[in-house]
Amino acid sequence: MEKRVETATAEALAGVRVCDFCGQLAGAGATRWLAAFGAEVIRIEDPVREGRWDILRGVGPYVDERRGIEFGGGFNNHNTQKLGVTINLRTERGKELLTELVRQSDCVTENFAVGVLERWGFGYERLKAIKPDIVYVSNCGFGHTGPYKSFKTWGPIVQAVSGLTFSSGLPDLPPAGWGYSYMDHTGGYYMAMAILLALLHKKRTGEGQWVDLACTEAALTLHGPALLDWTVNGRPGRRQGQPHSNRDLSPPMAPHGIYPCRGDDAWVAIACRDDADWERLSSAIGADWTAGFAAQAARLANQDALDAAVSGWTASQDKFAVQRTLREAGVPCSAVQTPQERIDQDPDTEGRWPTVTHTAMGQVRVDGIPVRMSKTPWRIERGAPCLGEHNEAVFGRLLGLSAQDVAQLREEGAI
Amino acid sequence: MSALAGVRVIELANERIAFAGKLLADMGADVILVEPPGGDPARLYPPFLDDEPGPDRSLWWWHYHTSKRGVVLDLDDAGDRARFKALAATADVLLESEPAGRLAELGLDYDALRQVREDLIFVSMTPFGRGSPNGGAPATDLTLLAGGGPAWSCGYDDHALPPVRGGGNQGFHTGCHFAVMATLTALFHRLSSGEGQFIDVSMHGAQNVTTEAASYSWLVARQTVQRQTGRHAGVRPSQSTQMRCKDGRWVNTGVPPRAPAEFAQILGWLRELGLEDQLPEAIFLEMGAALPKPITYDLIGVDDEATAIFSAGREALALIAENLGAYDFFVGFQRRGIAVGVIYSPEEAFEDEHFRARGFQVVVPHEDLGRAFRYPGAPYKLPASPWRIARRAPRLGEHDREILG
Domain boundaries, chain A: 17-220+350-412, 267-335
pLDDT-wise least confident of A189-193, B162-166, B296-300, B308-312? B296-300
pLDDT at B237 exceeding the cut of 80: yes
Contacts of A374 in chain B (CB under 8 A): 197-199
Task: Give the whole-angstrom CA distance, residue A102 versus residue A43.
Answer: 12
Torsion of CA B292, B298, B303, B307, to 10 degrees: 80
Q: What is the tens place of the pLDDT at every residue in A362-385?
A: 999 999 999 999 999 999 999 999
A109 Cα to chain B: minimum distance (Å): 14
| Confidence tier at B271 by pLDDT (50, 70, 90) | very high
> What local confidence, expressed as pLDDT, does residue A359 receive?
98
pLDDT at B1 exceeding the cut of 90: no
Phi, psi of B129 (to 5 degrees): 90, 150
| Confidence tier at B24 by pLDDT (50, 70, 90) | very high
pLDDT at B312 exceeding the cut of 80: yes
Distances (CA, A) of A156 to A178, A190, B249, B252: 8, 17, 16, 7
Which member of A277, A340, A347 has the closest CB to residue B218?
A340
Interface residue of B24, B67, B128, B140 to substitute, partner A, most A CBs within 10 Å: B140
Domains along the sequence of chain B with CATH: 8-210+358-404 (3.40.50.10540), 250-342 (no CATH)
Mean pLDDT of A96-107: 98
| Average pLDDT value over all residues in chain B | 96
Q: What is the tens place of the pLDDT at every residue in A35-54?
A: 999 999 999 999 999 999 99
pLDDT-wise least confident of A185-199, B40-54, B299-313? B299-313
Mean pLDDT of A228-245: 97
| Confidence tier at B254 by pLDDT (50, 70, 90) | confident
Which member of A154, A269, A368 has the closest CB to residue B254?
A154
| Confidence tier at A236 by pLDDT (50, 70, 90) | very high
Contacts of A56 in chain B (CB under 8 A): none
* Radius of gyration (C-alpha) of chain B in whole angstroms: 26
| Confidence tier at A4 by pLDDT (50, 70, 90) | very low
Contacts of B64 in chain A (CB under 8 A): 224
Which member of B205, B216, B355 has the closest CB to residue A349?
B205
Mean pLDDT of A233-238: 98
| Confidence tier at B378 by pLDDT (50, 70, 90) | very high
Contacts of A250 in chain B (CB under 8 A): 45-47, 60
Q: Do A152 and B135 touch (CB under 8 A)?
A: no
Mean pLDDT of B302-322: 94
pLDDT at B297 exceeding the cut of 90: no
How many residues make up chain B in this entry?
Answer: 405
Q: Which one-letter DSSP state was computed for residue A23?
A: -
| Confidence tier at A2 by pLDDT (50, 70, 90) | very low
Residue of A nearest to B180 (CA): A193
Domain A17-220+350-412 part of CATH 3.40.50.300: no
pLDDT at B299 exceeding the cut of 90: no
> How many CB pairs (< 8 A) connect A and B?
543
Q: What is the tens place of the pLDDT at every residue in A316-365?
A: 999 999 999 999 999 999 999 999 999 999 999 999 999 999 999 999 99
Pairing type for strands B250-252 and B242-244 reads antiparallel
Helices B18-25, B170-193: axis angle to 10 degrees equals: 50
pLDDT at A7 exceeding the cut of 60: no
Contacts of A214 in chain B (CB under 8 A): 358
pTM of the model: 0.98
Contacts of B235 in chain A (CB under 8 A): 61
End-to-end CA distance of chain A: 53
* Radius of gyration (C-alpha) of chain A in whole angstroms: 25
A252 Cα to chain B: minimum distance (Å): 8
Which member of B124, B350, B382 has the closest CB to residue A211?
B382
What percent of chain A has a predicted confidence (pLDDT) above 70? 98
Facing residues of B20 across strands?
Answer: none
pLDDT-wise least confident of A180-194, A200-214, B293-307? B293-307
- Report the Cα A138 to chain-centroid distance in Å: 16
pLDDT at A8 exceeding the cut of 80: no
Task: Give the whole-angstrom CA distance, residue B235 versus residue A285.
Answer: 36
Q: What is the tens place of the pLDDT at every residue in B53-90?
A: 999 999 999 999 999 999 999 999 999 999 999 999 99
